[in-house]
Amino acid sequence: MDAIKLIEVKEDILADNDAAARELRLKLKSQNTLLINLMASPGAGKTSLLLQTIGELKNAFRMAVIEADIDSTVDAEKIAATGIESIQLRTGGFCHLDVAMVKKGLEAIDTPSLDIIIIENVGNLVCPAEFDTGAEIDVMILSVPEGDDKPLKYPLMFSKCHALLVNKTDLMPYTDFNMALLHERVRKLNPDIHIFEISCKTGEGIIAWTDWLKQSVEDFVKN
């Protein structure tokens, strides 16, 4: 029997993805196309937020959406109805998107002609937090019925996002959701995060969010 050898591997498992993400960010920066990664649980309002956001911004910016869904085209059809280009990626059971999948979606779009591309990630607060998609800005939605304790359960997601949208504020009177406590919990994980309280149903807070997004596009192009 041969002797047992100890081989030092010293490789980062996600290194390929991280390197591809950096490369994609540089490429999109050179075209001034801002890629945004939108994450949330199923039913938090990702598609509703996209529809509101597109409604506010489509006259000012050239936009497209990449929809990731395990196996349906329902969301892509809703987006297509707004006149914005949308690409459906079926993740085939995958719980998250990685750069390779995002690039596949981007191949189908004429990216240099666009100002903003939004990725609607798979509905899930766990896995999408671990994989860099190549996006410049990570945004998440938490909806009021999910509860104010979610930052305690999914700290990684809350700590990596640039913006948090607290959706369905119109349901506040029917729940014991504590908004101040949520802010406190989120800020402890991520002091720099921008928090927007919104309702896609009533339109509350949408303008504050789209104004921030406009500013983000301007800053991105300038820097």
What's the CA angle centered on 212, arms 36 and 209, to 5 degrees?
A: 85
Q: Is residue 191 part of the contact set for other proteins (CB under 8 A)?
A: yes
CA distances from 196 to 57, 98, 106, 209, 212 (A): 17, 27, 28, 6, 10
- Which range touches other proteins (CB under 8 A), out of 5-13, 43-51, 53-61, 140-148? 5-13
Q: Is residue 180 part of the contact set for other proteins (CB under 8 A)?
A: no
Q: Is residue 11 part of the contact set for other proteins (CB under 8 A)?
A: yes
Q: Report the distance separating Cα 85 and Cα 111, nearest Å.
A: 11
Q: Is residue 77 part of the contact set for other proteins (CB under 8 A)?
A: no
Q: Is residue 185 part of the contact set for other proteins (CB under 8 A)?
A: yes
Q: Build a one-symbol-per-residue string for 92-111: x at contacts with other proteins by CB under 8 A, - elsewhere.
A: --xxx-x-------------
φ, ψ of residue 164 in degrees (nearest 5): -120, 125
Task: For the sheet with 85-90, list strands across it.
Answer: 85-90, 63-69, 116-120, 34-39, 137-143, 163-167, 194-197
User: Which of 56, 130, 170, 204: binder of other proteins (CB under 8 A)?
Assistant: 130
Residue 190 pairs with which residues in a beta bridge? none
* Closer to other proteins by Cβ: residue 13 or 30: 13
Q: Is residue 181 part of the contact set for other proteins (CB under 8 A)?
A: no
Positions that interact with other proteins (CB under 8 A): 1-14, 16, 94-96, 98, 124, 126-127, 130-131, 151-152, 155-156, 159, 185, 187-189, 191
